[in-house]
Structure 1
């Protein structure tokens, strides 16, 4: 087998993008949107999110073509544009975001099973956490058998998990009531606040738009990276918007808002009966496990490439005999397990981890868009500027609470940067880097005080 035969094709790269985005988020959309807004606000939210994320998709497409020497996308672009320490933060934040996102998958699986096994509760009971941690390490040993083997599995799972979602869309399109849809047209409160309340949800479901970019070093043809990014994004946007809007046509908004997660199951059950909930639940488990596989691969890949560029400690360069980044995968599984333990103390484990995952991803996205703006002209500059504005708006929409929680994770994570600099025999921080680190530490301290005093809740 030649090296080219071992590379990932356009369909496989597209499946990685779709597989990364179609995970836990889509199954929670009906309830999450109904809690925030009505039909009009939902349409506006998807227009804003779709346009903003499309700009980001174009940014990753453009950078993949113009900077073919930069692998692992998000991290590499931040480093090239703003220096080593911001690059480290981008790599670490993207990795941490992926790990926290993977926790949402296990929470949602156990919440789904909780309707049959009450001791799993909403996915945040002691039994649910213990079983989830065991599953994390079971998947770990599957993935370490090789990146390409896991990517092939993901392509199969991506096809399988789309079937129940597409059936949901078709059934609801047939069952849609125009009167119910009209009655759900408007939400409560100012429209801006309604739309803002959906933003972290839309970020969460779109995480993975850069999936092909992260795997750029495996692409058979470099131009396939950008094509897979845009093709995957457009397909998923249409699917997410359909799931959200059609749900408003079968149940009152108040009922939609109160449905247990995964809310898609409850919506379909209201239309076709109990088999609908079971059908969606099975689809969810397949979908989430596929997304977990893709995200674990992407998280480890970022650490591995960063270590290869001397931006993470040397031990993260380790590969096993199957070509998998073994040390990076171990660290990834450790953080996922740790965050699962934290969910025991959360009032709403799924919502908390969803929003924290989204918040951690915003700085890496902002830095990637900023780098594109620095090197672009003309039309490309306009696209990059719009992507910067969108990600800046998302940071505002996330709110101070989750920015401070992100700092609590970023601050101790800087230890990896310190280890790396000492391994290289270099000064740990430049004056500018030290100032940036001080800001992050200050944010972490305020965040911890907020948690202790109850100002910030999880």
Structure 2
């Protein structure tokens, strides 16, 4: 086989690319959708929320795709766009926030697994008991040991995980569509007694962090461009894959309103898909969803742990993090970055002991931490378009890409507003201490720690972190 033939054999057709996009976006969050939406809104609010999230997240996916094409030299991760567009300190914040978001997301996986097992082992509760947290921490470091030995997520594991998560979800959708109770569904149209536009807006706003959580990884769609048989297939696969996932998420959410009254959905334990299917078909439905979820989540945990460690490792190689994070063990694993990742997951697991709703807390904190990296990437795409940078040979695409970046920027700013001041402050309790890594990196290179602008940004971060701590101490912020 010639080199050309080998390359062609590795190229993927449109439908295979689309399946890869779907697999990268469907994660653990979908199993929690019925309860999370029912606690916030009814059928109408849920439909509007998915429409808003669908448009906004698709624009973000296009932004990452555009940046991958226009700035192919920026291949050090999402944070590279923030650094190129707004400077080294915002770039550091983006890298650190993206890593912290992945760690908190990984914490939510253990909460969800233990909550699932808690249906048969009462001592695990909803994943937030002392026993559940202790077992989870042991599992975190067991996975840490396996990964440190060079364990990688092989193609065979990927296939098993993809089937494990899609089969129960598709079965859930089909069964609920066939058994939908129209009277229950119509009674759930309004998410409360107030049918005003203002109340509906607040309902939609309160679901936004949930939609961000389930779509985390949307930036990964552009990664598959190098596998495309035809360049035009990249955009098509992104749209087809994204719309398929959006339809799946919206179906799980909306069809649940046809199975149980909203107040019953809101009171289900997580993962709430188990309770919904059990109410329709009996106990086997709960077990079916639970088994699929555990296999899926363990696979996702492995992948996201590797990704989180890689973020710190690549940033260190680019001198944006301290040198010690470049350290690899004899198996080629970035061991220092992996230790930091496992440590933060363990710390957040301990914090869940003090939370009223551990899964929702980790879900929203994970989403909040991801907003700054997403907003800065969208802002950089808009800046390129407005300035006309990289458009000399393609002036025709500039107007469309500026419009896409405009929508993405507005959407990410709306998400920051929707997150609310509480989770913004909680995010900076993590961001501000993380600046120690930036200081270490600057000193190792013999550079001034902060410029004037960077110092102002650091002071702002510290002020927000202090306000967050005060809010926790005084009870104004409840986790």
TM-score range, shorter chain: over 0.9
Matched, 1:158 2:162: yes
Distance 1:426 1:17 in 2: 41
Write out aligned runs for 1:293-312 (5 A): 293-312=302-321
Matched, 1:81 2:85: yes
Aligned partner of 2:391 in structure 1 is none
Matched, 1:329 2:338: yes
Write out aligned runs for 1:381-400 (5 A): 381-400=402-421
More moved, 287-296 vs 125-134: 287-296
- Higher radius of gyration, 1 or 2: 2
* Deviations, residues 87-106 of structure 1 (Å, cap 9, x unaligned): 00000001001100111110
More moved, 219-228 vs 407-416: 219-228
TM-score (norm 1): 0.93
Matched, 1:363 2:381: no
* Deviations, residues 60-86 of structure 1 (Å, cap 9, x unaligned): 111111111112431111111111000
Aligned partner of 1:406 in structure 2 is 427
Aligned partner of 2:438 in structure 1 is 417
Return the offset for 1:154: 2.9
Structure 1: which 5+ runs fail to align? none
CA contact (8 A) 2:61 2:221 kept: no
Distance 1:248 1:140 in 2: 40
Counterpart pick for 2:129 among 110, 125, 131: 125
SS at match of 1:210: helix
Matched, 1:427 2:448: yes
Relative to structure 1, is the Cα distance of residues 29 and 391 closer, same or farther in structure 2, using a 3 angstrom cutoff? same
Write out aligned runs for 1:344-383 (5 A): 344-376=353-385, 377-383=398-404
Return the offset for 1:370: 0.3
Counterpart pick for 1:44 among 39, 43, 48: 48
Aligned partner of 2:351 in structure 1 is 342
Distance 2:305 2:17 in 1: 16
TM-score (norm 2): 0.89
Return the offset for 1:155: 4.1
Relative to structure 1, is the Cα distance of residues 422 and 212 closer, same or farther in structure 2, using a 3 angstrom cutoff? farther
SS at match of 1:433: helix
CA contact (8 A) 2:429 2:465 kept: yes
CA contact (8 A) 2:153 2:303 kept: no
| Aligned pairs, number | 454
Aligned partner of 2:392 in structure 1 is none
Counterpart pick for 2:142 among 138, 155, 169: 138
CA contact (8 A) 2:153 2:302 kept: no
CA contact (8 A) 2:17 2:228 kept: no
Matched, 1:257 2:266: yes
Relative to structure 1, is the Cα distance of residues 349 and 421 closer, same or farther in structure 2, using a 3 angstrom cutoff? same
Relative to structure 1, is the Cα distance of residues 315 and 446 closer, same or farther in structure 2, using a 3 angstrom cutoff? same
CA contact (8 A) 1:19 1:155 kept: no
Distance 1:293 1:12 in 2: 23
Distance 1:380 1:52 in 2: 14
Relative to structure 1, is the Cα distance of residues 316 and 255 closer, same or farther in structure 2, using a 3 angstrom cutoff? same
Aligned partner of 2:457 in structure 1 is 436
Distance 1:319 1:221 in 2: 32
Return the offset for 1:249: 1.1
* Deviations, residues 344-399 of structure 1 (Å, cap 9, x unaligned): 11111111111111110001000000000011231000000100000000000000
Return the offset for 1:145: 4.5
Distance 2:321 2:17 in 1: 26
Relative to structure 1, is the Cα distance of residues 228 and 82 closer, same or farther in structure 2, using a 3 angstrom cutoff? farther
Counterpart pick for 2:38 among 14, 34, 41: 34
Relative to structure 1, is the Cα distance of residues 225 and 90 closer, same or farther in structure 2, using a 3 angstrom cutoff? farther
SS at match of 1:371: helix
Aligned partner of 1:285 in structure 2 is 294
Distance 1:161 1:247 in 2: 18
CA contact (8 A) 1:20 1:291 kept: no
Distance 1:378 1:52 in 2: 18
CA contact (8 A) 1:36 1:194 kept: yes
Relative to structure 1, is the Cα distance of residues 51 and 148 closer, same or farther in structure 2, using a 3 angstrom cutoff? same
Structure 2: which 5+ runs fail to align? 386-397
